[in-house]
Amino acid sequence: MEEIIDKRQTLADIKTGEYCVVVSITGHGSFRHRLMEMGFVRGEKVRVIRNAPLRDPIEYEIMQGHVSLRRVEAERVEVVPIDTEIAGNYMFHGTITEETDRIIGRVGKKIRVALVGNPNCGKTSFFNHATGMREKVGNYSGVTVDSKTGYFKYKDYTIELADLPGTYSLTEYTPEELYVREYITEQRPDLVLNIADASNLERNLFLTTQLIDMNVPMVMALNMYDELEKNGDKLDIATLSELFGFPIVPTVSSRGKGIEEVMENIVNVYENLEGYTKHVHVNYGQDLEKSIEAIKQVLRKDPRLSSEYSTRYLAIELLAGDKNIIELIGRYDNAEEARRVASEQRALIERQYKEDAGTIVAGAKYGFIRGALLETFTIGKDKSKQPAYSVDRILTHKWLGFPILIFFLWFMFQMTFTLGAYPQEWLEMLFSWLGGCADRFLPDGIVKDLLVDGIIAGVGGVCSFLPNILILFFFISVLEDTGYMARAAFIMDKLMHRMGLHGKSFIPYIIGFGCSVPAIMATRTLENKKDRILTIITVPFMSCSARLPVYLLLISAFFTKHQGLVLTSIYLLGIVMAVVTSLIVKKVSFKNERDQFVMELPPYRIPTFRNAVIHMWDKSVQYLKKMGTVILVATVIIWALEYFPRHSPEIDRYTAQIESLAGDSSVDEESREEQIRQLELDRSACQIENSYIGRFGKFVAPVFAPLGFDWQMGVSIITGFAAKEIVVSSMGVLYHSDAEADENSSALQRSIREHKWQSGPNVGKPVFTPVVAYGFMVFILLYFPCVAAIAAIKKEAGTKWMVFTIFYTTTVAWIAAFIIHLFA
């Protein structure tokens, strides 16, 4: 023991490329438990891989996987050299066969199955193949942030498959953990389908041991089994299955391999359990088992509690000091006695082992896992040069990491323009042709005006940007599926940490470039409440794809050169404002709170064409649905408010002048047509100004005037509250021009370039200039998010932060646009 103390160092002291062995973790709470869940337990071997480009965080190899920690967190992990003998390692005690019967909750031809597994284990991919649904698949933690349910027929059964959030364990420290645990204990599915990553068995089986503790019927899908075989590893599945007491089936869910066998085993297990079945428990050793049994005896005194929960599971969690479970038993009759006995047994175990009970239980689980794998698993070849991680030598290189990340972002935006320009032009031509056909063949009247000036001009203007949005989502999908998203967080952590944010916040930010709603939901992967709140209220500054049509419209009209650079500057400005906001809010509301950075770096995987197409297809369907519902309704309302009232003294005066001029034969035909055309334009402008929306626009015009915006721009901004795509739709309705289109310019681009001030000191001058256009894009970037995002913020952060977000973002947008107009 003295020798170990003499050799003890911290993990931060170990040099790149060197190995060491974990002795203990200092501190307590969620950080300590998270490290243990990731494999940092006594006796585990660790290798230092590399430092991030800014020297922090640090990447480590442990349990066949890669995990990154900040240097300050690594200092809390005590280690010794690789050749040091460590006494007191947790032993393998096998399993305990439970002789009592277990009754399945339901019988019949419907099987309710909960899909449970670690992040990155292929759980959602399995779900998609099994159910035929098309849920989003990504190679980083936090893709599945809520449960999704699919139904399908197998033999004579209807199987209900619930895809639960990915989680490393079932403790109390993250929303995912509590959600999965409560789903299993409260919803009581008939079976649990445990998806485990075959390429990282030791850590994945930690969650499996907790499921065994919960005493639920189970089948395991050993996913990514092809990677295990590719490495030359061998696993005795039959022996492992017998040891665990449930069927284990090798699968490759990305290709649908093994799914049929899994379903067969689910049905077989369910049929065997229609009544009673035997089951096993993890044997934690004589000392822990004695304490567990003492607590169980007290819990069993309440028949209501023992009928609703596994008393063994509750006893283990009470012994470990799980606060959520301690609170849960409070509503039962013998709660005080159970808490007292659990406290006594916890103190006894901690005195005996000189560690806290949670660490002891976690260590015993890993002792069981190591022993089980020692009997069944054979390592094929040296894993020190894992090919799935070798590309990190370039992508996270200290000099190349940042430039490569910036290049990827720039390339994504540039391709959004370049590749999307052609189909965008084709769609614009299509809607222009449709508008022309309606104009020629429909009789004059309200129906024609609604169809041509309302629906086709508004919805068509938004629809033409669909190709660009699909391209953006394609690149985001590739970043997710390859595993590069986690590397982006690894590269950015130190920079973002200094700015008040968490490195993992970069993942919701990237998702936010697609849509703010799933980005806000993805903040659940952040364990610390402060980090979640800061990320949630700053995600709206990430420019979602719904804002993209506005940028494409104005950049194409006023910034014909360096389009990709201008668009990139808009996105970077959003990131800067997110950082500034985070610093301010952190100092005001969270000045005494700290965060930790513990993140898995999943192996790189080649993205499948199927996933990319599914991702793009789903987004296109969502986009088209939005255009057929929210945007269509909003467009019709905006058109109606712009169309009515149809008569006023000023409008009637223009109409009389046009009729008089049309019958005046004293004026030559060419001059008469030109004067009539101008009068019609003046009448149209008068009609818009006197319409309901024109009156409203003039009412709010003083708010936007200091920004260089006219009332049409102000109305377009306000209508964007429902959905940001409606901004372009509103502009398509509010801006009119009868001039013939240039061959390289859409009608709306031409209209906004030609639109002039009708009153005020700038009368007759163009409303839109490059400066005003850029200021307008900045306002659209920064002001309040759409209704759906606001609802997501309320759900995840509460009403207080929802209200703050609405007012704060709008204020910031106004100030930023004002500064641009004032000083540009």
Whole-number Å distance between alpha carbons of 128 and 95: 34
Residue with tokens 């027929």: 153
- Residue 6's pLDDT is 60
Pairing of strands 191-197, 218-223: parallel
Query: Which pair of structure tokens corresponds to residue 750?
Result: 């031409």
- Residue 207's pLDDT is 94
User: Helix, strand, or coil here: 275?
Assistant: coil
Query: Where is 99: in which H helix or E strand?
Result: strand 95-102
- Please state the length of the chain: 824
Whole-number Å distance between alpha carbons of 217 and 458: 55
Phi and psi angles of residue 607, each rounded to the nearest 5 degrees, phi first: -65, 140
Cβ neighbourhood burial of 615 (10 Å; 0-12, 13-18, 19+): buried
Angle, vertex CA 732, rays to CA 728 and CA 734, nearest 5: 110
Pairing of strands 45-51, 19-25: antiparallel
Tally the C-alpha atoms within 13 A of residue 688's C-alpha that lie toward its C-beta.
Answer: 21
Q: Are 396 and 59 in contact (CB under 8 A)?
A: yes
- Report CA-CA distances (Å) from 131 to 161, 481, 618: 8, 20, 16
Whole-number Å distance between alpha carbons of 117 and 76: 28
Nearest to 69 by CA among 19, 109, 34, 28: 34
Over 738-752, what HEC string results?
CCCCCCCCCHHHHHH
Query: Where is 241: in which H helix or E strand?
Result: helix 237-244
- Residue 87's pLDDT is 61
10-residue averages of pLDDT along the chain (824 residues): 65 93 82 85 92 92 91 92 73 72 58 91 85 57 63 88 88 79 89 93 93 91 90 90 92 90 90 63 91 92 85 91 86 87 93 87 91 89 65 90 89 81 83 85 85 76 75 81 87 84 80 78 74 91 87 89 87 90 87 75 82 74 69 77 81 84 76 80 74 84 92 86 76 60 58 82 86 95 85 85 94 95 81
Whole-number Å distance between alpha carbons of 506 and 384: 29
Nearest to 63 by CA among 571, 488, 600, 551: 600
Phi and psi angles of residue 602, each rounded to the nearest 5 degrees, phi first: -65, 155
Compute and round to an integer the Cα radius of gyration of the chain: 32
Whole-number Å distance between alpha carbons of 138 and 124: 9
Query: Which pair of structure tokens corresponds to residue 431?
Result: 């809607």
User: Helix, strand, or coil here: 332?
Assistant: coil
What are the start-end ranges of the H helices in 627-691? Answer: 632-643, 649-662, 669-690
What contacts 676, CB < 8 A, 6 or more positions away?
658, 661, 662
Angle, vertex CA 186, rays to CA 182 and CA 187, nearest 5: 105
- Residue 386's pLDDT is 63
Task: Write the DSSP symbol of residue 257.
Answer: B
- Residue 813's pLDDT is 96
Q: Are 753 and 747 in contact (CB under 8 A)?
A: no
Whole-number Å distance between alpha carbons of 469 and 399: 32
Phi and psi angles of residue 349, each rounded to the nearest 5 degrees, phi first: -65, -40
Name the packing angle between helices 401-418 and 466-482 (round to 10°): 150
Whole-number Å distance between alpha carbons of 721 and 540: 13
645 upstream amide cis, omega within 30 of 0: yes
Query: Which pair of structure tokens corresponds to residue 786?
Result: 């759409």
Q: Residue 717 is which amino acid?
A: I
User: Helix, strand, or coil here: 179?
Assistant: helix
Instruction: Give the count of beta carbons closer than 10 Å to the beta carbon of residue 791.
Output: 14
